[in-house]
Structure 1
Amino acid sequence: MFEFDLVAGPVVHEVLAGNRHAVLDLVRQTYLAHEAGESVNPDSYFLRFPEKPDARIIALPSFLGSDVQLAGIKWISSFPSNTERSIPRASALLILNDYETGYPIACLEAAQISAARTAASAAVAAAALRPGGYRGTRMAVIGAGIIARNVCEYLKAAGCTPDVFLVHDLQADAGHALVGHLNDVLGENAEFTADLDTALAADTVVFTTTAGTPYVHTPFKPGQLALNLSLRDLDPEVILAASNVFDDVEHCMKANTSPHLAEQATGGRKFVTGTLAGVLNGEVTVPDGQPVVFSPFGLGILDLALGAYVHQQARAAGKALAVPDFFAETQRW
């Protein structure tokens, strides 16, 4: 009852990298469990800093029933200026709590869990929202950081790879690094473009930037799919001209995301088509004749589902570090 484990980053990476298909299935099933009411996913809590307005640390508490039966919290920082130091923007921890007693059972390095769940949700959406597949299409990735790399890896695992990847980033060296990863590691056809409009004209556009305010003002065309992962790239008019699918509508209508700005501009939510889980279970049909935008706020239950899986795999492999006597008192008296 009082066991407590630490799972370090290299172990987390090993488990996730070796089980991408399992991760995709976990994300898909977690979305469906959430839609069925088998989770508790309250609002995220943002810690901000007056002298660092672009930086934040976010707490994402959640509970997932279904086969998981765990509560937990992800504590993730986002310091965009880290990229100027050539270190990752985000760092994170995930705490898992036993549902029966409430006691913490594990602490995991979670930046990779966060990246994997974001990437896997994008891949699940890509498969569901372009059911005809990606053969003969072009896909642009705007923003070439760690999230973008993970998204490309999970798109490949899900079979959602186009004829050509176009990579655009304001830092050309980062863009070329992702192109190299796509070409040399993933075996895909990729090229860098410095022209944003060229990227925005692709059949599928994936946004993985650190943008805080919209810079894309021209609506997409019918047939285009935008994976709006970074949430703040698109002007409200772009949202209003599209069919819009969300991971969770209420969560996305906060924190001045592009959908939130669209809601503020119109005073309503007529632009909402439905949730990805609704698409997956057949309750939501995306209409023809409009572009489609998928906006995932990022649900803590996804971190919880992947964290539980990583913890189980790490323990089974003997790679979770048990901390003896972590709790000082184990008796009431």
Structure 2
Amino acid sequence: MFQIVPHAVAVDALSGSRDAVLTAVKKAYLAHDRGQTVNPSSHFLRFPDRPADRIIALPAYLGGEVGMPGLKWISSFPGNHELGLPRASAVLLLNDDRTGRPVACLESAQISAVRTAASAALAARALRPGNGPASVGFVGAGVIARTIADFLHHTGLPVTHFLCHDLVPERAQQFVGHGEKHWPGSGGVADLDATLGCDVIVFATTAGKPYLPETLRFAPGQTVLNISLRDIHPQTLLAAQNIVDDVDHCLRAQTSPHLAEELSGGRDFVTGTLADVLLGRCELRTREPVVFSPFGLGVLDIALGAIVLDHAKSDSRTVTVANFFED
């Protein structure tokens, strides 16, 4: 029996389970830290004549309580916006741990956005000094940014006001409308400089290489969620504390931390992993900015895929295909 889980089922499974999502993401990070996962390098399919487009394969195995292997296949085609389509689309294949047989194909754009947002919110809660009131600046106004806003609100970040900067002002204005559902009357569209002045900064763009000034230095106490990974020049990272999800994964594929490694000649600029912070093994200096750079571990997709699949089994919109495989 093989199950096909459409987008609407994934949305319903995750939207009403944000506490469970946060718990699952945290447990996945800790399982990864304990060596209970297999998380090979992501593989990029690129197109020489279309450098902005890519499709990424993320194979992973999450052991422990979940015990499930799988593969996320996710595309990013920024030009889709001009066609009225989302930039990203994805599927997640899940396998039975005992037989290796695929058991389900899940629409995974929602899973990917939610696991990214939950990771960002978990990091903000762990890294924010004192967890006091904060202004939040969003650079980029797409699905990822909106979902991060949802999770920052859910985790109770006390937002004084928020700003959004996007290359398309209409998208920034739409984002403000979304954010004000959480923080009424406190949002606004702003230029890049004003957005970078907020206490918490969220980078969620499709940038392929750093575009911020090389001279930029984040302020003491700022918390930067470097979700899109390629906005910031390495010189800026070298002047901050740096937390990653996995050192080997994050320092590759020309991410900002990878460029910082090449520039500095080593990895000493990496302060630790998010698991180090969660387990109290990494003490942050409150007078210095901290940047969280998550490459995006496939085990997080498996963790949320398990939640969606469990919900989908009792949802009539799930398509069950008998005899999909030869017995």
Both proteins in one fold, TM over 0.5: yes
Which residue matches 1:193?
189
SS in structure 2 opposite 1:54? strand
Q: Distance in 2 between matches of 1:79 and 1:317?
A: 31
1:61 counterpart SS class: strand
1:97 to 95, 107, 113: 95
- Deviation (angstroms), 1:187: 4.0
TM normalised by structure 2 equals 0.97
Aligned to 1:143: 140
CA contact 1:62–1:73 (8 Å) conserved in 2: yes
Q: Is the 8 A contact 1:244 1:272 kept in 2?
A: yes
The counterpart of 1:244, out of the listed 238, 242, 245, is 242
SS in 2 for 1:140: strand
SS at match of 2:71: strand
- Distance, in Å, in 2 between the alignment partners of 1:149 and 1:69 is 31
Mark the CA change 1:130 to 1:189 in structure 2 (over 3 Å): closer, same or farther.
Answer: farther
In the TM superposition, 1:1-333 aligns within 5 A as 3-135=1-133, 137-183=134-180, 185-217=181-213, 218-327=216-325, 329-330=326-327
Does the aligned pair in 2 maintain the 1:78–1:90 contact within 8 Å? yes
Q: Letter of the 1:60 partner, please give it.
A: L
CA contact under 8 A between 1:163 and 1:189: conserved in structure 2? no
- Which stretch of structure 1 is more off in the superposition, 312-321 or 97-106? 312-321
Amino acid at match of 1:323: V
Unaligned runs of 5+ in 1: none
Shift of 1:182: 1.2
Runs in 1 of length 4+ with deviation above 3 angstroms?
A: 187-190, 316-319
Give the AA of the match of 2:277.
Answer: V
Measured after TM superposition, the shift of residue 266 of structure 1 is 1.1
Measure the CA separation in 2 of the matches of 1:108 and 1:323: 13
Instruction: Answer with 244-253 or 210-219: which moved more.
Output: 210-219
1:202 to partner: Cα distance: 0.6
Structure 2: tracts of 5 or more residues without a match: none
Q: Give the SS at the match of 1:210.
A: coil
- TM-superposed CA distance for 1:127, in Å, is 0.4
| Alpha carbons 1:246, 1:294 under 8 Å: kept | yes
Superposition deviation, residue 95 in structure 1: 0.2
Q: What is the CA distance between 1:288 and its match in structure 2?
A: 2.8
Distance 1:192 1:170 in 2: 15
Does structure 1 conserve the Cα–Cα contact (< 8 Å) formed by 2:136 and 2:202? yes
Higher mean alpha-carbon deviation, 284-293 vs 89-98, is at 284-293
Superposition deviation, residue 190 in structure 1: 3.6
**One-letter code aligned to 1:315:** K
Q: CA deviation at 1:81?
A: 1.2
Q: Any conservation in 2 of the 1:62–1:71 contact (CA below 8 Å)?
A: yes
Contact 2:159-2:183 at 8 Å conserved across structures: no
Structure 1 residues 68-97: Cα deviation after superposition (integer angstroms, max 9, x where no partner): 111000000001111222321100000000
User: Aligned to 1:132, what secondary structure does the other structure show?
Assistant: helix
What is the TM-score when the length of structure 1 is the normalising length? 0.95
DSSP 3-state at the match of 2:159: coil
Q: Percent identity?
A: 53
Separation in 2, partners of 1:189, 1:307: 35
Instruction: Using the TM superposition, give the Cα deviation of residue 142 of structure 1 relative to its aligned residue in structure 2, in angstroms.
Output: 0.6
Task: Report how far residue 318 of structure 1 moved.
Answer: 4.6
Give the drift of 1:186.
2.4
> Partner letter of residue 168 of structure 2?
Q
RMSD: 1.2
